[in-house]
């Protein structure tokens, strides 16, 4: 249907508007936004008659809801509950196919919205169709409570029969699962099971407990389901049973891990470099660091074989790519195994991957196991190394739970985050030596239980001879509308919220409006996000359209490494406006080093992850994080002063050539390997404490459940 215009939609001063799409069968998890114009737009389901639930929390005051067009206002039900002074929360049921709904907050306030929502499953749609106000009130009450993790108010069920209560609990549990609130799903299903304790209900409850990382309760529920209906073990439930058994196996192996007092004499020198992704199927900073460091280690005289995590790349973005066996990439042997992948498993995958690594290490005469972030690769590699009596080195490049929190606010408090952090801590406890990128990451690792004496900093580096200063490519100038004498601000990298590209557009817009010779080119858009209104790319395009600067600001899809080198020749300034989030404060990106090697003027926010490479007014300029005005001042300063750009670019290149060489990194890695060969670093006390705190197994593990499914 044609778009509905909103009076403030083309406001050039509007900073950001959140678009929420509620799809016909599913929905996004929680969304958050801060908006200076206090507006949020919702796109409701396209399917006629399909009810959706939307919940908003607004930090600054009451929410004023306006719906366009107005005839659908009659289809909106408030929860009937008083607004909480602290959160200003409201829930609605909406049936308005394909409509755009605008939420307006008090004018003049910098607002913060949290949005939840989902299309309702069939059981709830059927109940709402009865038009019983008591049922509607109960449904909205349960949904609004679940998104705030508040206890249910049993009074809402007082006048409802048992069957209706059961359907409401089961339907709301399905919504909780769609939103990723697995603990809440388990609680609702547990309440439903008290009403109707069938084998199928127990089966669903076991799944929910496993999703909530409560494996002890999942095993107990599975045992009860199998006791009531043994045939469940032969159907689709068997994969779930296998995952529970793998959980028991992995935890038992970790608990039984021996305490070696001496390292056996090394027989082989070859390194097994175990990686989450790899060339030539990934081209991001992770794969580039892996390949460059592997090449430098090999050139320094250490034989090395790289092992991609089992299932890469077919279990990710490249489902049709299924490499198997060894491939030589720039002379480095890479090993791939695509016969199995995660497929929704955690401990089943860890167990199977550990068996694969154990066989691969033996077949390739490995002497040291070196795994890079994160636990999906590193924990199986550590288990295999321990079985073979090999030294294990863990290279921590990022903290994925923290990175996910930046992309998905609220993740840090989920059971998945607790599991991921615990498994990361277990890998650290198993490591003889640990490597990481910078001082702040080292401090974070110490906070996770790692021994400072076992941590070595190996920063990101760059091949300075590959990224060299170059003149603009005339063909690219024509393609991107760059004229001689233009000053081009560029960005090269992933388009993620924490990169702060909306801030860069906001800062640059007045400069571009006042000077037609300033251009902004942002490289790294994911083509898969072209039609996703909630993607970062689409949000940036809307921002550019609202500013009416489409001729001067270009979004470019991801490019090959060769094209990246050509594009650096087009840029005069490279900006990295990372947001003030934990991931930005901790983790150092690799891309700025490429720009520095190419002799570009780099401008970055003063987050911790950038300050270890950008020294203000020497190798670049730093601006106050999240401050568009300060970023604009830094841009204006270097745009107006070509001599300053030249000085900063020359100093940046000199810095990376002197201090960020992969050859020097490989020398330091060799020192780490030698320490790992001679010193045992495994921390059994920390390991035992982590297992006790996070990975409990019930006594039922040793009874009929475990024996009955021993062959699964």
- Beta carbons of 564 and 594 less than 8 angstroms apart: yes
pLDDT, tens only, 118-157: 778 888 888 988 888 888 888 888 888 887 777 887 888 8
Predicted local distance difference test score (pLDDT) of residue 61: 56
Q: What is the CATH number of domain 271-461+677-689?
A: 3.40.50.2000
Comparing 120 with 98, the larger pLDDT belongs to 120
Residue 114 pLDDT: 64
Q: What is the reported pLDDT for 200?
A: 94
Q: Distance between CA atoms of 609 and 581, rounded to whole angstroms?
A: 10
Cβ neighbours for 272, distance < 8 A, ≥ 6 positions apart? 305, 307, 357, 360, 361, 364, 366, 368, 369, 370, 381
pLDDT in tens, 167-199: 999 999 998 888 888 999 999 999 999 999 999
* Summary mean pLDDT of the chain: 84
Give me the residue spans of the domains in the chain. Answer: 134-234, 271-461+677-689, 474-660
CA 11, CA 550: separation in Å to the nearest integer?
15
**Of 299, 676, 656, residue with least CA distance to 459:** 656
Q: Is the pLDDT of residue 103 over 60?
A: no
Mean pLDDT confidence for 687-705: 72
Question: Which tops the pLDDT comparison, 33 or 509?
Answer: 509
Instruction: State yes or no: pLDDT of 162 exceeds 60.
Output: yes
At residue 532, does pLDDT exceed 90? no
Task: Determine the pLDDT at residue 28.
Answer: 38
Q: What CATH number has the domain spanning 134-234?
A: 1.25.40.10
Which residue, among 626, 624, 621, 614, has the nearest Cα to 636 in the 3D structure?
A: 621
**pLDDT at 560 (0 to 100):** 87
At residue 48, does pLDDT exceed 60?
no
Do residues 325 and 309 lie in contact, with contact meaning Cβ atoms separated by under 8 Å? Answer: no
The single residue listed with the structure tokens 């388009």 is 495
CA gyration radius, the chain = 28
Band (267; pLDDT cuts 50, 70, 90): confident
Cα gap 545→664, rounded to integer Å:
46
**pTM, two decimal places:** 0.85
Rounded average pLDDT over 289-312: 97
- Please list, in sequence order, all residues whose beta carbon lies within 8 angstroms of the beta carbon of residue 165, skipping any fewer than 6 positions away: 157, 195
Label residue 89 by pLDDT band (50, 70, 90): low
Reported as a single tens digit per residue, the pLDDT across 380-416 is 999 999 999 999 999 999 999 999 988 877 788 889 9
CA distances from 165 to 118, 151, 593, 682 (A): 20, 16, 59, 52
> What's the pLDDT band for 24 if we cut at 50, 70, 90?
very low
Identical fold between 134-234 and 474-660: no
Is the pLDDT score of 55 beyond 90? no
pLDDT of residue 62: 56
**CATH 3.40.50.2000 for the 474-660 domain, yes or no:** yes
Give pLDDT tens digits for 578-630: 999 999 999 999 999 999 999 999 999 999 999 999 999 999 999 999 999 99
Q: Could you tell me how far CA 415 lies from the centroid of its own chain?
A: 15
């Amino acid at each position: 249907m044609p778009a509905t215009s909103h009076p403030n939609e083309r406001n050039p001063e509007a900073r950001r508007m959140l678009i929420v799409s509620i799809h016909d069968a599913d929905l996004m998890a929680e969304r958050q936004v801060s908006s200076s114009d206090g507006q949020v737009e919702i796109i409701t389901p396209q399917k006629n008659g399909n009810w959706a639930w939307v919940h908003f929390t607004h930090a600054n005051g009451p929410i004023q809801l306006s719906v366009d067009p107005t005839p659908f206002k009659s289809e909106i039900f408030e929860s009937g509950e008083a607004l909480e002074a602290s959160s200003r929360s409201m829930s609605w049921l909406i049936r308005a196919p394909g409509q755009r709904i605008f939420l307006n907050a008090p004018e003049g306030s910098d607002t913060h919205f949290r949005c939840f929502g989902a299309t309702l499953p069939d059981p709830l749609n059927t109940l709402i169709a009865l038009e019983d106000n008591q049922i509607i009130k109960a449904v909205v009450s349960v949904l609004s409570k679940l998104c705030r993790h508040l206890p249910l108010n049993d009074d809402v069920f007082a006048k409802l029969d048992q069957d209706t209560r059961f359907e409401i609990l089961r339907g709301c549990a399905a919504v909780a699962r769609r939103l990723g609130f697995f603990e809440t799903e388990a609680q609702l299903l547990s309440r439903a099971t008290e009403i109707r304790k069938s084998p199928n209900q127990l089966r669903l409850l076991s799944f929910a407990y496993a999703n909530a990382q409560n494996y002890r309760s999942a095993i107990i529920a599975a045992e009860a389901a199998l006791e009531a209906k043994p045939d469940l073990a032969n159907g689709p439930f068997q994969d779930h049973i296998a995952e529970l058994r793998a959980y028991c196996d992995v935890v038992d192996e970790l608990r039984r891990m021996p305490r070696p007092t001496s390292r056996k004499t090394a027989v082989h020198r070859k390194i097994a470099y175990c990686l989450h992704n790899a060339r030539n199927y990934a081209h991001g900073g992770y794969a580039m660091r892996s390949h460059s460091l592997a090449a430098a280690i090999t050139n320094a005289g250490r034989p090395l074989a790289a092992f991609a995590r089992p299932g890469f790349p077919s279990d990710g973005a490249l489902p049709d790519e299924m490499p198997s066996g060894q491939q030589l990439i720039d002379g480095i042997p890479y090993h791939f195994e695509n016969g199995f992948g995660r497929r929704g498993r955690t401990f089943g995958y860890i167990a199977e991957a550990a068996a694969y690594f154990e066989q691969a290490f033996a077949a390739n005469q490995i002497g040291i196991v070196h795994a890079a972030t994160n636990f999906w690769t590193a924990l199986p590699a550590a288990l295999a190394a321990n079985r073979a009596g090999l030294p294990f080195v863990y290279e921590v490049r990022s903290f994925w739970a923290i990175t996910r929190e930046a992309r998905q606010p609220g993740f840090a408090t989920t059971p998945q985050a607790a599991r991921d952090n615990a498994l990361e801590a277990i890998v650290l406890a198993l490591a003889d030596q640990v490597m990481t990128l910078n001082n702040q990451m080292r401090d974070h690792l110490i906070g996770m239980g790692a021994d400072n004496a076992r941590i070595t900093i190996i920063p990101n580096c760059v091949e300075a001879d590959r990224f060299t200063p170059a003149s603009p490519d005339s063909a690219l100038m024509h393609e991107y509308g760059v004229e001689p004498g233009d000053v081009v601000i560029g960005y090269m990298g992933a388009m993620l919220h924490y990169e702060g590209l909306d801030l860069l557009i906001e800062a640059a817009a007045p400069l571009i409006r006042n000077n037609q010779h300033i251009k902004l080119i942002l490289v790294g858009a994911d083509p898969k996000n072209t039609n996703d209104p909630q993607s970062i790319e689409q949000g940036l395009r809307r921002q550019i359209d609202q500013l009416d600067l489409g001729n001067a600001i270009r979004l470019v899809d991801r490019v090959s490494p060769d094209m990246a080198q050509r594009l650096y020749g087009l840029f005069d300034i490279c900006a990295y406006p990372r947001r003030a989030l934990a991931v930005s404060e901790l983790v150092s990106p690799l891309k700025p080093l490429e720009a520095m090697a190419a002799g570009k003027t780099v401008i970055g926010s003063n987050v911790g992850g950038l300050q270890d490479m950008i020294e203000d007014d020497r190798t670049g300029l730093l601006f106050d994080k999240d401050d568009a005005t300060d970023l604009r001042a830094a841009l204006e300063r270097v745009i107006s002063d070509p001599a300053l750009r030249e000085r900063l670019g020359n100093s940046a290149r000199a810095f990376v050539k002197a201090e960020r060489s992969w050859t020097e990194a490989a020398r330091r890695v060799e020192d780490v390997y030698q320490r790992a060969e001679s010193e045992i670093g495994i921390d059994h006390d920390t390991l035992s404490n982590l297992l006790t705190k996070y990975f409990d197994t019930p006594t039922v593990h040793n009874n009929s459940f475990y024996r009955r499914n021993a062959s699964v």
